[in-house]
Structure 1
Amino acid sequence: CAGSNFLPKVHIALYEACVLEGNYTKGRRIMSAMLPLMRVLEQGGKFVQSVKYGCELAGLRPGPSRLPLQPLTSEEMSELETVISTLNTEITKIIDGDGDAKT
């Protein structure tokens, strides 16, 4: 997932759960938490812009998208910010064991 450019800890957690720990239940929970991010990245034809904005939020400097790509609207930026915040909260719960119950 392109989100690994700006959320490496989340993607590493998925790898560790599935490959290193063999904990596929935990891996499925992490992947389920990632689905809203994937939806936002892949909807509306603004994949590159969304990834670049995610990188900006992570403190990276990806530079602007080139024409003919248009920048994200403030609503699209806000949605991505919300999804990232929620994802980080969910992943922390899963990793820390607060979300061990099957859902």
Structure 2
Amino acid sequence: MKLPQFEQHLSGADVLRLAPDRQDRSLLITHGLVWLTLDGQRWDHWLAGGESALLPAGSAAMLQAWPAARFQLLLPPQAARQRKRRLCWPLLSTRRLSLQPLSTQ
């Protein structure tokens, strides 16, 4: 089965650590049940398909599926635009672009 773009599969035997990020993120569970532990929080969370949780900027998270789950890790639209600009602009500014006509064969 092919998963939609940006959807990840997690099996019960896997524990996934999400490293801290500079931006807030949202964890959306699309199928199954996930046990979520956030650094600095006293309680763990159980999330079922269709539920989401905010992952605050600077916090790491641990995920484990029971027994399997699919999820998406989402950025707020503003953060996604800023990240895209930050990642793409240096690449474009350091390359020399030359336009050449396509050869016709």
TM over 0.5: no
Larger Rg: 2
Could you state the TM-score of these two structures normalised by the residue count of structure 1? 0.24
What TM-score do you get using the length of structure 2 for normalisation?
0.23
Structure with a larger share of its residues in helix: 1
